Amino acid sequence: MKQFIRYLPLLLLAVTWELAARLELVSNTALPPLSDVILAWVDMIKDGELLTNGASSLYRAGAGLGLSIAIGGVLGITMAWWKPVNVLLAPLVEIFYPLPKSALIPVTVIWLGFGDGSKILLIFLGCMLPVTMGAFNGARSSEQVLVWSARSMGANKLRMLWDVVLPSAMPELLNGIRTALALSFILLVSSELIVAQKGFGFLIGFLGANGSYDAMYAVVLTVAFLGFAADRIYLLILRRTLAWREQTP
C-alpha cells in the first residue's frame, strides 16, 4: 500500500496521458494513447523487431562499457600508484574530461564506419574518464595508516595493491562506473539516432520518419525503462559489494 501511494503520481501521469489522448485534448499524432503504445510494443515484441534491435544496442553498450571499465580502472589505479604516470596523464585527463563526448560521434564514424565498431569506440571513449577519475580518486585516498600498517606487517607492493589500495578505491570506482553506465546509454542512443542501421536509436528514428508514432513511443519508453532498470540493478550490486563498509551510499 505504501509503495502504491509512493508511485501513485506515475500512475496519475499515465492516466492523464491516456485521457488527454482519448479525449483528443492533444492531437493523436503528437501523443497516441498509452494503450495504443502498449499494443504497438506487444506487436514489436512478437515480430522480434524490438528484440533484434535491442540485442545489438545492448551488445554495443556492454562492449563499450566493459572496455572502459577494464582500461579506465587500470589506468586510474596506475595513475594513483605510480607518480610518473600521473604527471604524464593527468593533464590529458584534465583536458579531455570536460569534452562533451557527443562531439566524438562523427569522428568515430569516420574511423570505424556506421556499424558496431564506431558505437563501441564512442561509448568506450566517453565512459573511460569517469571510471579513471573514480579509480584515481579512490586509490589516492586510501588511508595512510592502512598503507603503513600493511607495510610494517611485511606486505609487498603487489599484495598492498590488492589488499589495501583496491578495496579502498572500490567505493569511488564503483560510483565512477555508475556515472559511466548512465553516460553509456546517453551515448548509445544519441549515436544510434544520428547514424545507425540497427539498434534502439535507429528504430526510434525510423519509426518516427515513417509516422508510426505509437511504435516510436513504445521504443522510447523501452529504452528509458532499460536505462532505469540498469541503474537500479547496478545499485543493488553496489550495495552488496560495499556491504563491508560502515556506511554505504
Residue 154 interacting with other proteins (CB under 8 A): no
Q: Considering only the stretches 33-41, 63-71, 109-117, 165-173, report the one whose residues sit in contact with other proteins under the rule CB under 8 A.
A: 109-117
> N- to C-terminal Cα distance for the chain?
26
Based on the shown chain and the rule CB under 8 A, indicate whether residue 48 belongs to the binding site for other proteins. Answer: no
Question: Between 46 and 232, whose beta carbon lies closer to other proteins?
Answer: 232
**30 interacts with other proteins by CB under 8 A:** yes
Binding-site string for other proteins from residue 63 to residue 82, where x marks contact by CB under 8 A and - marks none: --------------------
Q: Which of 50, 121, 220, 238 binds other proteins (CB under 8 A)?
A: 220
Q: Does 5 bind other proteins (CB under 8 A)?
A: yes
Based on the shown chain and the rule CB under 8 A, indicate whether residue 91 belongs to the binding site for other proteins: yes
118 sits in which H/E element:
helix 116-140
- The whole-angstrom distance between residue 176's C-alpha and the CA centroid of its chain comes to 11
Burial (CB count within 10 angstroms: exposed 0-12, middle 13-18, buried 19+), residue 242: middle
Cα-based distances in Å from 143 to 157, 165, 169, 249 = 16, 9, 10, 19
Q: Could you say whether residue 29 binds other proteins (CB under 8 A)? A: yes
Q: How far is the CB of 128 from other proteins (least distance, A)?
A: 15
User: At 141, which amino acid appears?
Assistant: S
Decide: is 188 part of the binding site for other proteins (CB under 8 A).
yes
145 binds other proteins (CB under 8 A): no
Least distance CB 224 / other proteins (angstroms) = 4
Contact between 118 and 64 (Cβ < 8 Å): no
27 φψ region: left (φ > 0), alpha (ψ -120 to 50), beta (else):
beta
Of these, 137, 147, 161, 242, which contacts other proteins (CB under 8 A)? 137
Min separation Cβ 189 and other proteins, Å: 5
Give the CA distances from residue 182 to residues 13, 104, 162, in Å, rounded to whole numbers and listed in that order: 24, 17, 28
Choose, by CB under 8 A, the member of 82, 111, 114, 162 that binds other proteins.
111
User: The C-alpha cell of 98 is what?
Assistant: 570536460
Residue 55 grid coordinates: 540485442
Q: Are 169 and 120 in contact (CB under 8 A)?
A: no
Cell numbers found for residue 89: 596523464
Binding status of residue 96 toward other proteins by CB under 8 A: yes
Contact region for other proteins (CB under 8 A) — 16-24, 42-50, 106-114, 240-248? 106-114
Query: Which candidate, 62, 72, 68, places its Cα nearest to that of 169?
Result: 72
**Binding footprint of other proteins, residue count (CB under 8 A):** 58
- Provide the binding-site residues for other proteins, judged by CB under 8 A: 5-10, 13, 29-30, 87-92, 95-107, 109-111, 137, 182, 185-186, 188-190, 193-194, 200-201, 204-205, 208, 213, 216-217, 219-220, 223-225, 227-228, 230-232
